[in-house]
Chain A
Amino acid sequence: MIRLGNVLVSPGEGGVYGERTLDGYRVWDPYRSKLAALYTLGGGVDLTPDMRVLYLGAANGTTVSHVADYAGTVYAVEFAPRPMQDLLEVARRRKKIVPIMADAGRPEEYAPFMEAVDLIYQDVAQPDQVGIAERNLVFLKPGGHFILMLKTRSVDVRRDPVEVLGEALAGLGRRLDVVDVRWLEPYHHDHAAIVCSRRG
């Protein structure tokens, strides 16, 4: 990952969502992107040009655009029509992005388009985030990584985030090795990043 001083940046054509540029690089703001927050906090899996990535919950494609600046091919799955329109616009200028309109909880909808990937990044506002992760493991290469951004409030607003995290870790541990867990404070509240790897 490229840092200019303390600032996380990505190489690529700017002007995707009004992001700042620095010496020709696009600034990747940790307050806006949870993945950027994870990298800024010293965690995460480095993205390389030979990587294939499945991105679940692509939304408007802001973070996707940064991932595509680093990685080889990015399969970006998004369900809602409005953000999908923005994502298509982002994908028009970035040939590495394959935009897929489908429900991340139903991998059979997009399985006919998928190859095995090195990294799955999941950032969906759904209660059953661990279940969605499990159903998508079929796309992950042995030894590949899974980064789950756990939105504890989406699981259950009333419960203690720490408790929600504990439960998620237990769930993920069934099929994956949990490598790293960290809260995204001070950039994002009640969000935990869980980095796992698939047993080889």
Chain B
Amino acid sequence: MLQRYWFGDVDEQGCRAAGTDPAALAERAAALRTGMESYVPIDWEVARDCGVARTREEYVDLLRAVCITLAREKIAVSYRARDVELLQMVRMLDELDNVINLLSERSAEWYQVTTPSFSRKYRSLPAKKMLDLVRRGARGGLSDVAGDIERLAGTRSRLMREVSARADEVLPNTSALIGGLVAARLLSRAGGLSALARMPGSAIQVLGSERALFSHLRGGTPPPKHGIIFQHRRVHNAPREVRGRVARVLAAKLAIAARLDYYRGEAVPEFIRDAQEKIDGAGVAA
């Protein structure tokens, strides 16, 4: 039977070595598919006779070099693909929100000064309409800025879709429960997937409401019922009297979901179904 090992192929006829360059060997080894039915462990002396190494020490050294190269590559891939970039994306999204709000506020103030007919009631317009009005009504710099804000808003919505899609990929279980965007915000506030996976449900529940939490802990004020997870519809649409309960149940399930995302990295349909049921059940007024 042909055996394909990291240093070459071995069968009854003999051995074909694959060279002694660690990088090339690593590349070859990564592509090997081993069937365990007919597998036989390596006899290092075969490798020696094959010309891979003269001594056992040399053999182990070369094997180590190959394995370390492979491990480095796998580590790099796992960091590239997973939560690290999502963290930056979400933070960029939140910064964009901030900047867009600031600029819109200032544009409205400015426009109001130049246009007496632009009264308070226009301020209650949706931001998009208001900006459109300013861009067409104003001249020069103000009009340019309004146009830029609109473009920025377009960038923001594209980025938001990207964040959502990436969150579905990196946090499949968490995203299934509260949506990609909110899941990504939780990730960002926790500081990474590993940190989020290590949090208890109670911490996830108040993630993002640290000010209220610490003012409560210092004494006096009531505790916060929810932080970032308030942005999820099942929390903010819930009747006031059960909102705390929904938040608590949701957060507890999110803690499990985050762990599944971190340690398993794939969606677990049975868990998601059960969790959704529990969360919906919590929202039914007693």
Contacts and interface: CB of A to CB of B under 8 A. Distances in A.
Contacts of B4: 112
A81 interface: yes
Interface string A68-91: 000001000000011011001001
A85 B75 contact: yes
B270 to A, nearest CB: 14
B67 A112 contact: no
B221 to A, nearest CB: 36
Interface in A94-131: 95-101, 107-108, 111-117
A100 B5 contact: no
B228 interface: no
Contact of B67 (A98, A135, A139): A98
A116 B34 CA distance: 16
Contacts of A113: 5-6, 29, 42, 63, 66-67
A138 B36 contact: yes
Interface of A: 73, 81-82, 84-85, 88, 91, 95-101, 107-108, 111-117, 135, 138-139
Classify the interface of chain B: helix, strand, loop or mixed: helix
18 contacts: A81-B78, A84-B71, A84-B75, A88-B72, A95-B64, A99-B64, A99-B67, A107-B36, A111-B39, A112-B5, A112-B29, A113-B6, A113-B29, A116-B41, A116-B43, A117-B41, A135-B36, A138-B41
Given A91-B64, A112-B32, A101 B42 contact: no
A108 B34 contact: yes
Contacts, number: 74
A115 B68 contact: no
Nearest to A76: B67
B202 interface: no
Contact of B68 (A88, A112, A114, A139): A88
Given A95-B64, A108-B34, A115 B71 contact: no
Nearest to B72: A88
Interface residues of B, number: 30
A88 to B, nearest CB: 6
A25 B143 CA distance: 75
Given A81-B79, A96-B60, A114 B41 contact: yes
Contacts of B64: 91, 95, 97-99
Contacts of A95: 57, 60-61, 64
B220 interface: no
A111 B29 CA distance: 10
A108 to B, nearest CB: 5
A101 B74 contact: yes
A115 B4 CA distance: 13
A135 B39 CA distance: 12
